[in-house]
Structure 1
Amino acid sequence: MSGPKDSGSTVKQPTHPEHSLQGNTDGRLLAPDLARGFMLLIIAIAHATLWVVATETTQIGRPLGGTLVDDITNFFSTLFVVNRGLPLFALLFGYGLAMMVRRQTESGMLERKSKQLIRRRALFLILFGIIHAVFIGGIDILFVYGISTFLIGWILFKKDKVLTYALVYMSLFFVIVLPIIWVIFSVITDIANVETPSRGSLTPGNYVEALFYNVINLPIGMLGQLVMYPMLLTLLIGVWAGRRNLLDAKLHRNWLKGMAIIGTTVLIVGALPLALISVGMWITTPQMEGFMTFLQIISGIAGGLGYMGIFGLIGSSVKQAGLITRSLQALGRRSLTFYVFNETLLVILLSPVVLGLGASTHSTGALLIALFVWLLSLVIAAIMAEKRIPGPLDSLMRKLVYK
């Protein structure tokens, strides 16, 4: 990505009207946009279930019980959805940051100016996240990624050796610490709740209560994301992939094939034990359930890489984009706008402070609602692309960052 003029250098302002959250511009590969469009579906499905409040839940937020269809939904969601969309998002986010810095450097932008733009992007992501989480009430990820950008942004301007050390040390940290955290969390949860209460008693009943609830929950949720999930590690892997332009199948087809095969295999194997626990096919101790939760979460990184590999191959194989491909691309290019749009609709449909369908539906119903919301966003994005209308929030983010 290029940026505004800086003293001592002449660079071009980004000109593409369809900026995404990751900051890619015209001439970018098809694969990242397709992956972002798909990511919004995975996130919508995962987040919709978090509004189901009439039943007990698993440690990763899946409603327990229900019909056989609900059990099947839970089983496959644990394998392919929960803790899979956010790793894909983090990988693409880190990938986009690396590409953005590289394009700025190639355009002649001074490092000082590039760092300033990274910090501005992080700041406005935090601001967008606060507005979204507090006033709209959606399940937010913008705030934590803004914080994460501040934490790892300096590595974007270091050599590969520094990035490699950071990846090694952070991998060791999460592999050692995360299982301990989740085992302890599982044991404490089991002791505190002999019968885990439904989330209905923990949710606000009106908008004013929701505002206070959201203000309190925002920093707690951010700390949980950073400590109990390997978000920073996943972001750095995305930076590593972006530096190598890994989604360009012309350069890395074999890599993408390996990522698709190995990543999806690890995704399934790592989540299978927890999927069996979630539908009652395996009754085990809280300690073992906590460890299996860790395996499900950590395998999500491999799953995100697997999804990246799949869309990298799909993007390179598309000779002439059809309606579905164009629509998915349009959605991915407006990922910030439609992420907030999808979350807003989920709040309206499922939140107890609006229509409250989360109190009367289960896993399958939440899945269908999420699918409806995503399909609606897909149609709207396609219409916007046809009329050459950029995503409002994506465009606003660009204007704020680049003044």
Structure 2
Amino acid sequence: MSRPEPQRVSGLALSERSLAPDLARGFMLLVISVVHAVLFRTMATGEQLPYTLQSTADSVSVFVVTVLAESRGYPMFALLFGYGLAWIHLRRTEEGHTWPWVRSLVRRRGRWMILIGFLHTLLLFSGDIIAVYGLIAVAMAGLLHVGDRRLLAHGFGWLAVGSLVYTVLTAGSAMAAETEEAMPIAGDPLTDMAVRGVGWPIMLVMVPVSVLPFTVGIWAARRRLLEEPGRHRYLLTRVAGYGIPTAVLGGIPYALYVTELWQPAAPVVLGAAWLHLVTGYLGGFEYAALIALVALRIGQRRGPVVTALVATGQRSMTCYVLQSLAWLVLFMPYTLDLARMSDTAAVLTGAGVWLATVVLADLMRRAGMRGPLESLLRNRTYAGVRRTEPV
């Protein structure tokens, strides 16, 4: 018997997408915006330490951001990225396409993400994560086609090695910076662009610490955890109920260190940083579970706030890059040069920039526009593939 002809590749209208994943992306961009505002401000001033701690308000702001946001946003985005790729695999397989064809499609998407991420780094921000996820798609597309046990074993194996390497590189660098003087940043955009381009491979250290949430996202998509939260209410409730306090407690020791309320020996600092990172995975997972439960409660009763957050999540890559554009305009010495602000002001600036992208995304929704970067990635991924687009 001959194999049935594959169906034409069809797109999914924005109105048909599930609420939870897009709502999660829209909200978690707030977490990333707050963390990046502080990070970019530090890069713009050339300071070695990320926080100034000029007042009690600054200490409180830094403590809250460290416990609730830092190393909590990216794990959830990696989970959602794996979730999305798993859906591409499931959807295209159901249409009758072979696994080699689907794998080629996923890798093509990953290669374009690497290019977009490199340009993002070169032009705007050295902390890009798009290329990291693109590299994961290229190198680990095969995980979409393996069983659950092998999938999760792969993720935990990468975690065991990657979390230690990442902790030593980040926390070790922070401790070394305490004894160094501030280094002035270049005063012109071309030099800064060159520095970002040369330093781009450094962000690849994020690959091994992103594999576990990526694999968990694939596992979750196979069970439709975010599409059908009602069926998985018990599991999602337990993840949110245990994950939130665990992530908070796990982040407290490192938060005490960065706010200078606790000054332990170097090995203890590295241990606290590792605990902060590892419990950050639980933080990312519990945020996703909590938002899925919120989406279940909302149902079809979407008000203007939820609608705007969903529009932001549907244009998350565009909004993510727009945040970087805002940091460059606000903080760099050759633009507005507003980087000499307190920690609290930086956190509030991050929230304000996120709010501006939410408004812009909702305006795009009203105008019937997809995100420019989402459209580019989609068109390049399916270039040469016959498809029907949703009206």
> Is residue 347–residue 354 contact of structure 1 (8 Å, CA) maintained in 2?
yes
In structure 2, the residue matched to 1:145 is: 133
Equivalent residue for 2:358, pick from 374, 378, 395:
378
> Is residue 126–residue 196 contact of structure 2 (8 Å, CA) maintained in 1?
no
Distance 1:396 1:194, change over 3 A: closer
In structure 1, the residue matched to 2:115 is: 127
In structure 2, the residue matched to 1:43 is: 32
Distance 2:117 2:166 in 1: 26
Equivalent residue for 2:303, pick from 301, 308, 322:
322
In structure 2, the residue matched to 1:195 is: 179
> Is residue 152–residue 215 contact of structure 2 (8 Å, CA) maintained in 1?
no
Task: Say whether 1:9 aligns with 2:6.
Answer: yes
What is the root-mean-square deviation of aligned Cα atoms in Å?
A: 2.2
1:160 CA drift (Å)? 2.3
Distance 1:166 1:193 in 2: 34
Distance 1:102 1:260 in 2: 27
Task: Say whether 1:73 aligns with 2:61.
Answer: yes
1:361 CA drift (Å)? 0.8
Letter in 2 for 1:269: L
**Structure 1: gaps (5+ residues):** 1-5, 19-25
What's the CA shift string for 1:62-90, capped at 9, x where partnerless?
Answer: 41421111111000000011111111111
Distance 1:102 1:297, change over 3 A: same
SS in 2 for 1:249: coil
Distance 1:126 1:217 in 2: 15
In structure 2, the residue matched to 1:217 is: 199
What's the CA shift string for 1:250-297, capped at 9, x where partnerless?
Answer: 221111111111111111011010111122221211211111011111
In structure 2, the residue matched to 1:345 is: 326
Distance 1:372 1:242, change over 3 A: same
Distance 2:169 2:110 in 1: 32
Equivalent residue for 1:182, pick from 167, 182, 203:
167
Which aligned pairs between 1:93-108 and structure 2 lie closer than 5 A? 93-108=81-96
1:220 CA drift (Å)? 1.6
In structure 2, the residue matched to 1:32 is: 21
> Is residue 263–residue 302 contact of structure 1 (8 Å, CA) maintained in 2?
yes
Distance 1:370 1:87 in 2: 19
Distance 1:141 1:250 in 2: 32
> Is residue 4–residue 96 contact of structure 2 (8 Å, CA) maintained in 1?
no
SS in 1 for 2:40: coil
In structure 1, the residue matched to 2:389 is: none
SS in 2 for 1:357: coil
Distance 1:63 1:253, change over 3 A: same
Distance 1:106 1:188 in 2: 48
Distance 1:118 1:268, change over 3 A: same
> Is residue 34–residue 325 contact of structure 1 (8 Å, CA) maintained in 2?
yes
> Is residue 239–residue 286 contact of structure 2 (8 Å, CA) maintained in 1?
yes
Which aligned pairs between 1:267-346 and structure 2 lie closer than 5 A? 267-319=247-299, 320-346=301-327
SS in 2 for 1:356: coil
Which aligned pairs between 1:257-276 and structure 2 lie closer than 5 A? 257-276=237-256
1:342 CA drift (Å)? 1.4
Distance 2:173 2:156 in 1: 30
Distance 1:187 1:84, change over 3 A: closer
Distance 1:321 1:187 in 2: 46
Distance 2:166 2:119 in 1: 30
Letter in 1 for 2:69: V
1:170 CA drift (Å)? 3.0
In structure 1, the residue matched to 2:346 is: 366
In structure 2, the residue matched to 1:240 is: 219
Q: Hey, which bits of structure 1, 4+ residues long, moved more than 4 A? A: 54-58, 183-190
Letter in 1 for 2:373: L
**Structure 2: gaps (5+ residues):** 384-391
Letter in 1 for 2:9: K
Distance 1:188 1:370 in 2: 24
Distance 2:349 2:83 in 1: 30
| TM-score in terms of structure 1 length | 0.88
Distance 1:81 1:351 in 2: 24
1:249 CA drift (Å)? 1.0
In structure 1, the residue matched to 2:386 is: none
Equivalent residue for 1:254, pick from 216, 229, 234:
234
1:325 CA drift (Å)? 0.5
Distance 2:376 2:346 in 1: 31
SS in 2 for 1:52: helix
1:340 CA drift (Å)? 0.9
What's the CA shift string for 1:153-172, capped at 9, x where partnerless?
Answer: 11112222321332343344
Distance 1:180 1:298 in 2: 12
Distance 1:57 1:292 in 2: 20
| TM-score in terms of structure 2 length | 0.90
Letter in 1 for 2:179: E
In structure 2, the residue matched to 1:21 is: none
